[in-house]
């Protein structure tokens, strides 16, 4: 059973310059909340309460000021600093002490997932004791991502990193579940031609071993890598539309903690009437309690 999660919130965010020249992209707003709230809420929906955030020397205090130690939401958040990006797998070597020989989930800090019953496949992946689980999504721009290919029996057969001529449109999302061997596998990887280790090489290990589970996100689910100006705007517009039309919020970590029973009605009320009181966000939290009371 996976109980630990890693959120990778480092990097320089050069694709978003000049917006990210003074602040981490994961602290930028996606509609009504910081981007980091979205991957954090996914970890919480999976039932993961022990979370490790990897960030930069310049930004780590900003994350601490925003999220603190997580206890206000009934979770635990620890932090580590990565001086420079050396590839996504480096997260597993940095977090090796935190993982202490256990399996984990890892999510990129600029990824957003949404959909009906999204918690179900997440919880299922947490119960996968051996191997890996990856989530894929059909996209019109597969050349931007790692892509999974399939054989004639529609079983995963190979993985390509940002292929110029994709054989498939099934992109690998930035959410990964790996067993306790992840740190060792990451240490043994060789850098690619671009000088970084590649997450696709980690996935290939499990694919070749026959222990990789593939969980496709289909209709009714939404995935966005909010790492460009266009995709950030698209994400904000999407979240705004969903929240206006369905009333409920997306990526609301206070609500997730409350519905999980990790915080009480009183604790949620205190959050709603504290610093958030004058915002629509705080009013939303208070409305949850009112709704429950009938």
The string of pLDDT tens digits covering residues 225-265 is 888 899 899 999 999 999 999 989 999 999 999 999 999 99
- Are the beta carbons of 33 and 252 closer than 8 angstroms? yes
- Copy the structure tokens of residue 53: 């955030």
Q: What confidence category does residue 85 fall into, taking pLDDT thresholds of 50, 70 and 90?
A: confident
- Are the beta carbons of 9 and 26 closer than 8 angstroms? yes
DSSP 8-state symbol, 249? -
Q: Can you list the domains of the chain with their CATH numbers?
A: 4-263 (3.90.550.10), 264-294 (no CATH)
* Residue 73 to residue 218: CA distance in whole angstroms: 30
- Are the beta carbons of 149 and 160 closer than 8 angstroms? yes
Query: For 18-71, how does the pLDDT look when each residue is reduced to its tens digit (9 = 90+)?
Result: 887 888 899 999 999 999 999 999 999 999 999 999 999 999 999 999 999 999
Interhelix angle 37-45/119-126, rounded to 10 degrees, is 60
Q: How far is CA 182 from CA 96, 143, 164, 166, in A?
A: 9, 26, 28, 27
Which residues, including other chains, have CB under 8 Å from residue 290's CB and lie 6 or more apart? Answer: none
Q: How far is CA 252 from CA 40, 96, 107, 114, 200, in A?
A: 9, 29, 17, 12, 30
pLDDT at 112: 96
What is the separation, in whole angstroms, between the first and last Cα of the chain?
36
Which residues, including other chains, have CB under 8 Å from residue 285's CB and lie 6 or more apart? Answer: 252, 254, 255, 268, 269, 271, 272, 276
Q: What confidence category does residue 195 fall into, taking pLDDT thresholds of 50, 70 and 90?
A: confident
Average pLDDT of span 103-116: 95
* Residue 266 to residue 101: CA distance in whole angstroms: 37
Pick from 81, 76, 43: which is nearest to 62 by CA? 81
Q: Provide the mean pLDDT of the chain.
A: 93
């Amino acid at each position: 059973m996976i109980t630990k999660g890693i959120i990778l919130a480092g990097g320089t965010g050069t694709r978003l310059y000049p917006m990210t020249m003074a602040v981490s992209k994961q602290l930028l707003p996606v509609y009504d909340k910081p981007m980091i709230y979205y991957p954090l809420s996914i970890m919480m929906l999976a039932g993961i309460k022990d979370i490790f955030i990897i960030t930069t020397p310049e930004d780590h205090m900003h994350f601490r000021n925003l999220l603190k130690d997580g206890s206000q939401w009934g979770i635990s958040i620890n932090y580590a600093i990565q001086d420079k990006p050396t590839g996504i797998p480096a997260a597993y070597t940095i977090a090796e002490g935190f993982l202490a020989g256990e399996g984990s989930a890892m999510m990129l800090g600029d990824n957003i997932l949404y959909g009906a019953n999204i918690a179900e496949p997440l919880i299922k992946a947490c119960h996968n004791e051996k191997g890996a689980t990856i989530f894929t999504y059909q996209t019109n721009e597969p050349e931007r991502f790692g892509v999974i290919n399939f054989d004639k029996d529609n079983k995963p057969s190979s993985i390509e990193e940002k292929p110029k001529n994709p054989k498939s449109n099934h992109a690998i999302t930035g959410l990964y579940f790996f067993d306790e061997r992840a740190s060792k596998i990451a240490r043994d990887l060789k850098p690619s031609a671009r000088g970084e280790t590649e997450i696709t090489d980690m996935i290939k290990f499990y694919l070749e071993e026959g222990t990789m589970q593939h969980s496709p996100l289909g209709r009714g689910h939404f995935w966005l890598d909010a790492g460009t100006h266009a995709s950030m705007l698209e994400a904000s517009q999407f979240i705004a539309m969903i929240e206006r039309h369905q009333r409920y919020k997306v990526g609301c970590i206070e609500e997730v903690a409350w519905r999980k029973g990790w915080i009480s009605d009183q604790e949620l009320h205190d959050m709603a009437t504290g610093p958030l009181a004058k915002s629509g966000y705080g009013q939303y939290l208070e409305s949850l309690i009112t709704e429950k009371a009938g």
